[in-house]
Structure 1
Amino acid sequence: MTDQFQMTKNDKWENSDVIMDNDIATSEKRMWLICILRLVSDTTLDLTENLRHRSGSLIYPPRETFSMKEWMKYHARKTCSTKTLKKRVPIFGYLPNYTWETALSDFLAGLTVGLTIIPQAIAYSSVAGLPAQIGLYSSIVGPFVYAIFGSSKDSPIGPTAIEGLLVRENKHELGVAGAILLCFLSGCVELAMGILHLGFLIDFISGPVAVAFTSAAAIIVATTQVKDLLGLDHPGDNFLLVWKQIYEHITEISGPDCAMGFLAIICLVILKKLKDSKYLQQGSEENSTFHRILNGACWFLATSRNLLVVVISASVAYAFESQGTSPFRLTGFVKPGLPSVSLPPFSTEVNGKSYTFFDMASTLGSAIIIVPILSILQNYAIAKVYSEGRSIDSTQEMLALGFCNIASSFVSSMPVSGALSRGAVNHASGVRTTFGGVYTAIVVILSLKFLTPWFYYIPKAALASVIIVAVAFMIELHVLGPIWKTKKIDLIPASATFFGCLFTRLEIGIGIGIAINLAFLLYATARPSINIEKSKTNVGHDYLLITPDRSVLFPSVEFVRNVITKASIKKGLSAVPVVIDAKHIQAADYTAAKGMKLLISDFANRNQPIVFMNLKKSVITTFKGVNPESFVYCQTFDELNECIDAFATKTISLDVDLMNDQSLTKYSTKL
């Protein structure tokens, strides 16, 4: 459909035709262009009767004079549309159609995840070096907020092992106040990344680096729990120090704790493997009902294995306590009741030393950036794994996670995100919407209200076994084979990340891995592969055909110049034209254009012409902006043959197709 825009600026713009698509995005870009023209040239745009273009209930500005006010009004209406509301607040999308059947599925899934998250939350508090109730507080508000803003039904929000470890490494002397402030600041960073659409930054963490980081973090988390598994009281802050402390105090190992811990590990592994039993997957028409019941029972035992082990071990510890003996190291007092709602601590005092907000932020350091990035990475991974073909809105996930952390910080929470292990439970339980997290949070709230006296008797060895088994399956050694077979060089950033995390700090390790990956990317950009071959025209004139395999930008232009120069001399073709096939050059910059100008000048000094072909229009504009006089290019092989043949006779007269298909410019170059 074609509509007329009558544009007048001292009778300069008249009868301009603009093609209006039914595509909203294309039309919207044209509206931006019109707005810019108005701002720059004070152009009056009169819209004809046919300009109105509907998009649902939205209409482009009316046929009268187009003004900035009307443009802003239109976009305000679009931003406040029902579609946008449902996209940014997904609960409005599914809640009107929320049925009893869906509610039952969400309730069962939420209950199952709730039974899983209670022992995990207490255990992850231990990983973070925080009181047990902090992990439970971290599981309350986040699920409610994510039910409103989240887009992945399978992502259960709460504390995770990796975030617990990062808190442990970075809170230093700030204690609980540092963990809560880190939760708040992480939410702010995640929210800012969502608003600014910075999700692409996550793409700079490659698969091998992410796997190496996760595996190293899992080993460190498991290592921090070995002391509790063995009944030792000597803490350590890093991988090497923990094992050093264990070696120095190996004679102090507690037999009962050790027995309890290893027995719990065996039970957890057996229950985890139980649901994968081939026998339980078999059945026939005669016993299918029996097998369904058996499978259901085994699945429930396997899913709630953490709670089952914790309850049994706590019962054993309580039995000993009631007899007046205490052979196990217990969790101890857990503050009962719900947390109070208050602002995050923007200042604190530790051992008589006062810390302002800036002091606390300085102490937390790079964790303010690393924690939110890794939280987003974890949450996005869960959404991607269980997306079932649906596209994932990374911006919405960042916004949702930001709101979750900010809101959670008001109830004394450590940083939260989705956990892959709980996501697997959630998905297997048949969750249908993000509202399943609300039921999980209710289970945690009830446990805080009524069960905290019983948490006292949970042996630390049992909690350590829960964590060790959970993180053991995060160590992904199986990816080494595929990496070795596909691209061996990827093992370099992976190894650097793994050992950097183990022997320094997590944020340093992943920083090293990302830096090495970026160095590889920059090297690939600076050293494009260039195909060089000798060719002939239809009438037999020689020329040297150069084909770079990617864009020519400022890091690579000198390399390209040197390769082309050496190739023309090495092949003994210093007197024949050089043709640069730019079919793979998608972009160029000023430095590249300047380099091409120098290359053309160098070759012209020895009477050797350079001709470009298959150039994108944007690249033509860039090159001609620096070198409009001697820049020669062809669009087809017929033009190229004609051009080379003309060069062979020392004169070229070439018609060059510029940006407008109806506008031709003639170049004449004398050699």
Structure 2
Amino acid sequence: MRHTRNHRHSRTEISIEVPAQCQFKGSNAFEVTKDLDNEKMTALDHLKLFKKFTEDKAKNIFRKKMLYKRLPILTWLPKYTKEDAIGDLVAGFTVGLTVIPQALAYSGIAGLPPNYGLYGSFLGCFIYIFLGSSKDVPMGPTAIASLLTFQTAKGVWQRAVLLSFLTGIIELLMGLFNLGFLIDFVSGPVSSGFTSAVSLIILTSQVKDILGVRSSGTTFVQAWISIIEDIHNIRLWDTALGLACIAILLLMRQMVNLKLGDEKKQNLFVKILNKFVWLLATARNAVLVITFGAIGAYLYSIGDRSLKMIGYVPAGLPTFQLPPFSIPGDVISRNQTEGEHAELKGESFTEMVSNMGSGLIVVPLIALLENIATCKAFSHGKPVDATQELIAIGTANIANSFAQGYPGSGALARGAVNNASGVRTQLGNLYTGTIVILALLYLTPYFYYIPKATLAAIIIAAVIFTVEYRVIKPMWRSKRTDLIPGLSTFIACLVLPLELGILVGIGINVVFILYHAARPKLRLEFMVTDNGHKYLVLTPDRCIIFPSVEFVRNEINKQGLKSTLPVVIDCSHIYGADFTAAKVISTLVDDFGSRKQKIFFYNLKPHVSSVFEGAKIDLKIFYNFDELENAIAEMPEDSDSLEKVSIPDRISEENEFEDNKSNKSDKPKQVLNLPKFPSTGEISEIKNSPRNSPGVHRSANIDKVISSNVQPSSANNSQPSSPKSELNRKIRELYKKIDPEAPTNSSNLNNDTK
């Protein structure tokens, strides 16, 4: 089979020999692909393909390339140096000082005793060393994961630990099946709205500890109602301490960028002092906990109970065991958020899973989203392997469940500390996990005296900077409709439980996507062949599938009814179709046939054509534009659907165009009576510029389709010419005498005249 393409101006011919089993795809690019859609495949053939797919996957698992990809430690460990070891030690120690107070505080957000935050902060770090792909991610509990855990587990530690196990299983399966692309359905506006709402909910959950009042409820509105109802029980000393701690933390945050002396003339003492100030500001959470923990211990020793302490924290490492798959009926559970003890009814595994609800879907998705955001923030433009991160955090959460930890991921705040501390490899997690273990072994008796208001201040001072209000202004300038899913997610997450709020935002985003898929835009062009036959070209800008096919059919019929011209459907951008589309296209062809109006299809992809052929539709398909115009020109002259433009008419149109530009003639002109197609919301206006592919698509300008071998005389022109058009005619005749092959269309003529 031979495909040829004639260029309009250079008159050159390009020929490409294409094998019989291959065909062209695409309108302007010569991509040779095998057309498998036309091959009839039986069920046995499909089974063979699946068997081959699984065999290839099994072989790839044990390939060296795949092994290095799924075990990143094999890539960086052989290159490990002394400088890397020092950088990782400093960063791991610094992050460890940050993790301990945060873990204690995050346990309160999750509605669990303080020790469960520490239980989930060391084993995941060790797992991430082997499987993690980013050096800046320290595994552990986060504020968002803690809040989602509270809304899913309702403060019951057995459910929280089982949630960690099930979340890890889901994340691991998503990684093995390459489902990391699912985070693409969470758009930027939805993510910003969700993060901002979560920040406000976390801040609200800590207001009760600042004020010393009780709070209940799982949503933003419910929490504030309960706080207001109990506001008369406010504790002034807790409030004063909490506000003072917030102010101190915000001031110490500014010390991170404080530099003493001139950087170029610093002596050793000034350098050491700058490092000390930086370390003090970076580890401000630990400094605050140690300082006010000591104050709390002193007040407790003298019998002063004016401050609320976090209370008893069990010493030692957790018991390593299987996660609880059921809850005995005689278990006493302490709800850390409400500060009450309650006896739980016995629950089986299915009842526990049922009580978690949609949290089983939302918690893994948000954990991946948070982890990928941390990786991208410090990747310096390098690609992030979402599949590998799913495998890493999934395995880490499974391991945490055996140490009685609740779900976690990589936190952006800890990642920033890790990066600023000069971490070199993932081995920094080793030192962070070791410090948490040492704290569990030797420091838990002293945690008793840490004021709750201090931990609440640590969380509030961190989350107030995660409210993404800065995105509103650029989003308004860029695309205002993006504010709809963003604000909807924000409001839904404040009013509804978080897992429902994020699903509302994703659902609105999907509705926007489906609407655009169901309402494709049609480009409408009026064109003329070389010998003066007019026709209409309609170009859909995307695939024709079942949501959009009725809309496309109605619009094409609407434009076809406005004129008796032949209609050409340019299928250059149609890369897919389905059976519903085939049925509607068949109806469309019948509609045109019933009124004896011609319809042609140009550049229809072979695999799309096979879909239409399956519905037994008689289509007139062309892949060469010259052949298409010849078919239009060969239509009977007495056909009602054929209109012809005379050469004088076209010259008059050119003259009118020139006179309107010069505004020098007030004489009446003979105007070519073109059909006027009103521009709707989905149909673009008639284009008067050349199409994208010269030599294949013809210009829509009437004055650019005049054949070079036709020279109209003044007798044929029913109206007198303007001086400018007369000048053009004389220059055209002069060009013809100098070079008979020279193009004489209006576009080149005007350019040369200039």
Q: Where on the TM-score scale, by shorter chain, does this alignment land: which range?
A: 0.7 to 0.9
Kindly state the Cα deviation for residue 236 of structure 1 after the two structures are TM-superposed: 4.0
Give CA deviations for 1:45-71 in whole Å, capped at 9, x if unaligned: xxxxxxxxxxxxxxxxxxxxxx99999
Which amino acid in 2 is paired with 1:398? L
> Which of 604, 626, 635 is 1:615 aligned to?
604
1:567 paired with 2:589, answer no
- 1:200 is displaced (CA, Å) by 1.6
Structure 1 residue identity aligned to 2:162: L
**Who is 2:307 aligned against?**
328
| Residues 595-642 of structure 1, C-alpha deviations (whole Å, 9 max, x = no match) | 1121111101111111111322322222233245x2112223222211
Q: What CA distance in whole angstroms lies between the structure 2 residues aligned with 1:518 and 1:93? A: 39
Q: Does 1:342 align with 2:330?
A: no
Matched residue, 2:585: 596
Partner of 2:64: 82
Query: Does the C-alpha gap of structure 1 residues 313 and 122 become closer, same or farther in structure 2, counting only changes over 3 Å?
Result: same
Q: Deviations over 1:121-141 (max 9, x none)?
A: 000000011010000000011
Listed as ranges, the matches of 1:190-589 within 5 Å are 190-277=171-258, 280=259, 283-287=262-266, 292-350=271-329, 351=343, 353-570=345-562, 573=563, 575-589=564-578
Matches for 1:87-98 after TM superposition, within 5 Å: 87-98=69-80
Contact 1:275 1:295 in 2 (8 A): no
Paired residue type of 1:535: M
Mark the CA change 1:600 to 1:320 in structure 2 (over 3 Å): closer, same or farther: same
**Aligned mates of 1:72, 1:230 — CA distance in 2:** 60
* Structure 1 residue matching 2:314: 3-state secondary structure: coil
Look up the match of 1:108: 90
CA contact (8 A) 2:214 2:227 kept: no
> Which residue in 2 is equivalent to 1:59?
none
Tell me the amino acid that sits aligned with residue 427 of structure 2: F
**3-state DSSP class of the match of 2:278?**
helix
Give the match for residue 158 of structure 1. 140
**1:239/1:79 CA distance change after superposition, 3 Å:** closer
Q: Could you tell me which amino acid in structure 1 is paired with residue 133 of structure 2?
A: S
Shift of residue 551, structure 1, vs aligned partner: 1.3
| Stretch of structure 1 that moved more, 134-143 or 244-253 | 244-253
Residue 264 of structure 2 aligns to a residue whose secondary structure is coil
**Contact kept? 1:275, 1:302, Cα under 8 Å:** yes
The Cα offsets for residues 235-261 of structure 1, whole Å up to 9 and x where unpaired, read as 443322322232223232212111111
8 Å Cα contact 2:535/2:565 also seen in 1: yes
Q: After superposition, give the CA deviation of every residue in 1:101-127 in whole Å (9 maximum; x if it has no partner).
A: 212211111111111010000000000
Q: Secondary structure at the match of 1:349?
A: coil
Match of residue 181 from structure 1: 162
For residues 195-216 of structure 1, the C-alpha deviation after alignment (integer angstroms, 9 at most, x for no partner) is 1211121111111111111110
Q: Secondary structure at the match of 2:508?
A: helix
Partner secondary structure for residue 611 of structure 1: strand
Give the SS at the match of 2:303: coil
In structure 2, the CA distance between the partners of 1:78 and 1:492, relative to structure 1 (3 Å rule), is: closer
Do the aligned partners of 1:171 and 1:179 also contact (CA within 8 Å) in 2? yes
Q: Tell me the TM-score normalized by structure 1.
A: 0.84
CA distance 1:561–1:650, shift in 2 (3 Å): farther
Contact 1:224 1:236 in 2 (8 A): no
Q: Pick the aligned partner of 2:625 from 607, 618, 637.
A: 637
Q: Matched residues in 1 for 2:517 and 2:68: separation? A: 41
> Structure 2 length normalisation: TM-score?
0.75
Please state how far the C-alpha of 1:291 moved relative to its aligned partner: 5.9
Q: Structure 1 residue 73: deviation in Å?
A: 7.4
Question: How many residue pairs were aligned?
Answer: 597
- Equivalent position amino acid for 2:246 in 1: I
**Percent of aligned pairs with the same amino acid:** 45
Displacement of 1:40: 4.3
- Cα displacement (A) at 1:643: 2.1
Name which of structure 1's ranges 71-80 and 225-234 shifts more when overlaid on structure 2. 71-80
Moved more, 175-184 or 604-613: 604-613
More helix by share: 1
299-308 vs 350-359, which moves further: 350-359
- Check conservation: 1:541, 1:648, Cα contact below 8 A: no
Q: Which moved more, 1:213-222 or 1:582-591?
A: 582-591
| C-alpha distance 17-244 of structure 1, shift in aligned 2 (>3 A) | closer
Q: Per the alignment, do residues 555 and 16 of structure 1 end up closer, same or farther by CA in structure 2, a change over 3 Å counting? A: closer
* Residue 94 (structure 1) shift: 1.9
C-alpha distance in 2 between matches for 1:394 and 1:626: 41
Higher Rg of the two aligned structures: 2
Question: For the Cα contact (< 8 Å) 2:218–2:497, is it kept in 1?
Answer: no
Equivalent position amino acid for 2:116 in 1: I
Contact 2:537–2:570 under 8 Å retained in 1: yes
Q: Residue 647 of structure 1: SS of its match in structure 2?
A: coil
Kept after mapping to 2: 8 A contact 1:283/1:291: no
Over residues 450-498 of structure 1, what are the superposed CA-to-partner deviations in whole Å (9 max), with x where a residue is unaligned? 1001111110000000011111111010001111111111111111111
Judge conservation of contact 1:219–1:475 (CA < 8 Å) in 2.
Answer: yes
